[in-house]
């Protein structure tokens, strides 16, 4: 995308030997790179590779132990968040920083005016925003409330916010995580227009496809160091993946086989609305033995409602749940466990584990009442500890001892504990809600292997994921969720990514609902 | 300024910070003593002597610690499940009312039957008193800090009404006090002629029982799980609301025992000054013990010692005994700070 010609472009941002240590951990190890005018650099790396640390140093949230940041030839004073903004560096965070109850215009202008300014020239601000949005394909209604906007639109507001402040360097942190494939393409088109006007972009991602699609140059970070730098034109996905992980990790192979009987069936189930996502709207869903059903969809379209329904933490408002042809009337987390449903929750820290309790105490949390772990209200800690040790051994959990507090474990190890707990007693249904979010590539492959093992021994697996690649790689059939409704299932390979993307945006549902998102 | 979590604190820091907290408490209290015009060394010596310097002093400290163990346990149990029971004072008074109602001759049976009956009824009353706020919290999300705190005032005014009315001792020369409990309903003294009574034994036994409950039983496990992460507990199928109800019953019952033991063991009747804030001091006791039931015994004796010692000191050194409250409050603040510092590191800027 670099508009080359006219010799060497000007360097707009230079990081020299940035080193940052947290106790024994070196989060950033003498990282240096230059960003040229009109260039797109992709910062590629797994979770924990040091991408966020680097950006926090750039923005003055952390002070580097060594090294300097130079913007447009001037060294930025360390530890001053305003310096980077004043120097023309804008950032679009993964989690947006917008005030929900204010309009687009207000959000964009927020903080650009002195508190003591006599008045706010609304007309000029509006004209400026309209000009920016027209020039860069960032369509938005300036008087709309943020709370009425879709996620993709909110991201546009964030980008406009940075442009309104005359950003000449734009940093995007995992910008596509919340977008549909179509929205992603629109974002890339915008980025191309921005670069054409001389803006420079740092694109942070762990998705190889996107990095290949947008960048001029790729910097691969691994455990705080730059493990490789490549011109995008001279490299390929395989090489980048190897640089990112350091070794080749084998993803498990999916062997075709035909599914068995239906284990759990939802018939015309609706749930009550609640904060943070759409409720379910009269859905039908049947999960069969030995089959992974992948649920794709844009975040907030009812995944949370479906997951908590199957996990037993919410009851259906109407409709029936049938397990092995028996209608279950009293539905709860305990009922779900009693019907041998193994659950992997979306948020390990908030719902999966109790951080300040030990590994042992956590692994028995679903079964502490069984005679295996307690008798007449008295816990059998010896048996519980043996169970913890079994999981630690079988699932290769790295932890100092079964008495260690779970908070001290890494995300991958925590997830292994959850797998060990959920898969105990060979559950007949497995609910895996975002099972690999935030895990490194090695742990992702491990989780995938375990899910496939469960499927191969005959469990009915529901895999809910916002990562479409994951769904397509593992699922025997794919269902798309949009606004609390399910699309008809499609067999593996039946639909293209583009067609699934359209369904994710709400098109092509069986009953002919084609309202655009 | 912000806080960064530290990795597992080492043994050195775990001991160093609380030691620093005690030191800081002594320094701050010394300054106040200096302002009052006395010598800090002399004052601290007198406090220590007054708390534990003689058999009389020691027994007095243990007597004062008895209700604090009960209220401290009540708070520790509730706070463990993040049920913020600020109403131990009210539960204490309700326990005392039940003791007086049943113990002044309304029920006649031999001591070994009468005392357990009164204990159980007192506990039930305290438990039911806390059940209300717990139900409101679970059903309607009403903040239990507010409801339990306000119940203190309601109950104390209610007791005041009873003492001016139905419970008023006709032989009490017009004072707002109840009749004395009959001999069969009184707890025996541990040493003939001294004030320390059997309530202390019940208190320590309760602490041991609560320790076992928290460590070894499914209920204790559920309470800790709910307190640490209610959402994860709910996800794992732990009936969070039911656990909170059980916690409320247990906590209210323990606090009511403080009222029972003060009336049946020490005072013999109910007056409005039965508790000089034992319910509130129980919060301090529980926090100093880091919510550990056995720790509650130690911290209740420590806090009681400061109060008893300061009373003795003020008689001979002329420094107001309010210094005790300042010391206890300072100890709480420094201890809480120390606990935080063992877990977090402060970053300036």
Q: Which residues of A touch B228 (CB under 8 A)?
A: 354-357
Q: How far is the alpha carbon of A333 from chain B, nearest alpha carbon, in Å? A: 5
Considering only CA atoms, which of A489, A475, A473, A492 is closest in space to residue A291?
Answer: A475
How close is the nearest chain A Cα to the Cα of B213, in Å? 9
Q: Residue A179, Cα to own-chain centre: how many angstroms?
A: 10
Report CB contact under 8 Å: A313, B219: no
pLDDT digits (tens, 9 = 90+) for B97-116: 999 999 988 888 888 899 99
**How far is Cα B29 from Cα A253, in angstroms, rounded to an integer?**
70
Among A2-6, A228-232, A504-508, the range scoring the smallest mean pLDDT is: A2-6
Size of interface A-B (CB pairs under 8 A): 67
Pairing of strands A283-288, A262-270: antiparallel
Closest partner residue to B231 among A350, A378, A379, by Cβ?
Answer: A350
In the structure, what pLDDT confidence band is assigned to residue A513 with cuts at 50, 70 and 90?
very low
Tell me: the pLDDT tens digits for A241-256? 778 776 655 667 777 7
Segment 140-199 of chain B within 8 Å of chain A by CB: none
- Tokens 């507990």 identify what position? B233
Nearest residue of B to residue A367, measured between CA atoms: B236
pLDDT in tens, A467-505: 787 888 899 999 999 889 999 999 888 888 778 888 887
For B6, nearest residue in chain A (alpha carbons): A23
Nearest by CB to B234, from A333, A355, A378: name it. A333
Closest CA in chain B for residue A400? B8
Sheet with A66-71: strands ordered across: A25-36, A11-22, A66-71, A74-75
B-chain residues within 8 Å CB-CB of A403?
none
Closest by Cα among B291, B238, B215, B222 to A381: B215
A368 chain-B contacts, CB cut-off 8 A: 218, 221
Q: Looking at the complex, report in whole angstroms how far the Cα of residue B220 sits from the nearest Cα belonging to chain A.
A: 10
Q: Who among A313, A356, A377 is closest to B234 (CB)?
A: A313
Kindly report, residue by residue over A180-192, the tens digit of the pLDDT: 778 888 899 999 9
pLDDT for res A6: 44
Looking at the partner chain, which of A79, A350, A379 has a beta carbon nearest the beta carbon of B217?
A: A379
The SS3 assignment for A357 reads coil
pLDDT tens track for B13-69: 777 887 888 889 889 988 988 888 888 889 889 999 999 999 999 999 999 999 999
Mean pLDDT of A262-280: 85
For chain B, state the CA radius of gyration.
21
Do A377 and B217 count as a contact with CB atoms less than 8 A apart?
yes
Tell me which residues of chain B have a pLDDT lower than 50. none
B345 contact residues in A (CB cutoff 8 A): none
Give phi and psi for A419, each to the nearest 5.
-60, -45
Closest CA relative to residue B91, chosen from B43, B149, B24? B149
CB A38 within 8 A of CB A199: yes
């Amino acid at each position: 995308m670099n508009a080359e010609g006219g010799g060497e472009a000007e360097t707009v941002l230079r990081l020299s030997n940035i080193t940052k240590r947290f106790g024994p951990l070196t989060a950033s190890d003498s990282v240096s790179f230059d960003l040229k005018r009109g260039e797109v650099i992709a910062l590629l790396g797994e979770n924990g590779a040091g991408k966020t640390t680097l950006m926090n140093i750039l923005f003055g949230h952390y002070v580097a132990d060594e090294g300097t940041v130079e913007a447009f030839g001037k060294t930025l004073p360390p530890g001053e968040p305003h310096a980077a903004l004043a120097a023309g560096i804008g950032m679009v965070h993964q989690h947006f920083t917008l005030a929900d109850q204010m309009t687009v215009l207000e959000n964009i202008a927020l903080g650009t005016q002195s508190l003591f300014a006599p008045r706010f020239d609304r007309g000029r601000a509006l004209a400026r925003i309209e000009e920016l949005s027209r020039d860069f394909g960032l369509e938005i209604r300036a008087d709309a409330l943020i709370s009425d906007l879709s996620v993709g639109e909110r991201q546009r507001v964030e980008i406009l916010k940075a442009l309104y402040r005359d950003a000449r360097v734009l940093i995007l942190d995992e910008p596509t995580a919340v977008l549909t494939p179509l929205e992603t393409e629109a974002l890339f088109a915008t980025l191309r227009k921005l670069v054409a006007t001389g803006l420079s972009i740092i694109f942070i991602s762990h998705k190889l496809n996107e990095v290949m699609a947008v960048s001029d140059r790729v910097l691969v970070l691994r455990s705080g160091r730059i493990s490789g730098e490549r011109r995008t034109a001279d490299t390929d996905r395989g090489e980048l993946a190897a640089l990112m992980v350091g070794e080749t990790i084998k993803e498990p192979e999916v062997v075709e086989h035909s599914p068995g009987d239906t284990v759990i069936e939802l018939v015309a189930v609706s749930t009550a609305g609640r904060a943070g996502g759409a409720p379910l709207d009269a859905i039908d869903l049947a999960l069969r033995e030995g089959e992974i059903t992948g649920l794709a969809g844009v975040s907030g379209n009812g995944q949370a409602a479906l997951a908590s329904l199957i996990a037993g933490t919410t009851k259906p408002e109407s409709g029936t749940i049938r397990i092995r042809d028996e209608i279950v009337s009293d539905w709860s987390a305990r009922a779900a466990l009693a019907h041998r449903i193994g659950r992997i929750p979306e948020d390990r820290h908030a719902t999966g584990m109790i951080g300040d309790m030990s590994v042992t105490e956590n692994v028995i949390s679903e079964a502490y009442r069984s005679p295996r772990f307690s008798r007449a209200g008295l816990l059998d800690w010896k048996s519980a500890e043996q169970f913890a040790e079994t999981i630690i051994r079988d699932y290769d959990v790295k932890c100092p001892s079964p008495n260690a507090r779970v908070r001290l474990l890494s995300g991958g190890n925590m997830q292994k504990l959850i797998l060990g707990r959920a898969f105990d007693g060979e559950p007949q249904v497995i609910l895996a809600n975002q099972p690999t979010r935030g895990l490194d590539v090695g742990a992702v492959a491990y989780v995938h292997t375990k899910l496939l093992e469960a499927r191969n021994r005959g469990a009915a697996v529901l895999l809910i994921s916002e990562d479409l690649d994951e769904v397509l790689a593992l699922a025997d059939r794919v269902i798309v969720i949009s606004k609390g409704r399910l699309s008809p299932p499609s067999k593996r390979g039946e639909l293209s990514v583009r067609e699934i993307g359209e369904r994710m945006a709400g098109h092509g549902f069986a009953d002919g609902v084609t309202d655009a998102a | 300024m912000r806080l960064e979590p530290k990795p597992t604190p080492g043994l050195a820091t775990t001991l160093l910070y609380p030691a620093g907290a005690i030191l800081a408490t002594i320094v701050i209290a010394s300054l106040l003593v200096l302002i009052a015009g006395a010598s800090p060394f002399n004052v601290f010596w007198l406090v220590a002597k007054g708390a534990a310097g003689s058999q009389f002093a020691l027994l007095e400290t243990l007597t004062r610690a008895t209700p604090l163990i009960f209220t401290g346990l009540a708070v520790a149990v509730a706070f463990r499940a993040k049920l913020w029971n600020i109403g131990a004072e009210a539960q204490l008074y309700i326990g005392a009312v039940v003791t007086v109602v049943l113990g002044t001759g309304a029920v006649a049976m031999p001591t070994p039957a009468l005392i357990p009956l009164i204990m159980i009824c007192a506990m039930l009353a305290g438990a039911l008193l806390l059940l209300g706020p717990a139900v409101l919290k679970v059903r309607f999300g009403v903040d239990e800090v507010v409801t339990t705190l306000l119940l203190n005032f309601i109950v104390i005014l209610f007791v005041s009404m009873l003492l001016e009315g139905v419970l008023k001792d006709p032989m009490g020369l017009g004072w707002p006090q109840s009749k004395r409990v009959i001999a069969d309903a009184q707890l025996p003294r541990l040493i003939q002629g001294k004030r320390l009574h059997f309530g202390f034994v019940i208190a320590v036994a309760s602490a041991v029982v609560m320790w076992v409950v928290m460590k070894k039983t499914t209920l204790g496990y559920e309470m800790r799980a709910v307190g640490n992460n209610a959402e994860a507990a709910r996800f794992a199928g732990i009936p969070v609301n039911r656990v909170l109800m059980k916690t409320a019953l247990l906590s209210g019952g323990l606090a009511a025992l403080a009222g029972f033991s003060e009336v049946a063991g020490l005072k013999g009747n109910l007056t409005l000054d039965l508790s000089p804030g034992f319910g509130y001091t129980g919060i301090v006791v529980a926090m100093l013990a880091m919510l550990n039931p056995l720790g509650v015994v130690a911290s209740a004796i420590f806090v009681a010692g400061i109060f008893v010692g300061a009373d003795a000191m003020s008689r001979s050194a002329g420094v107001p005994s309010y210094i005790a409250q300042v010391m206890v409050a300072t100890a709480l603040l420094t201890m809480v700070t120390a606990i935080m510092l063992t877990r977090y590191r402060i970053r300036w800027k």
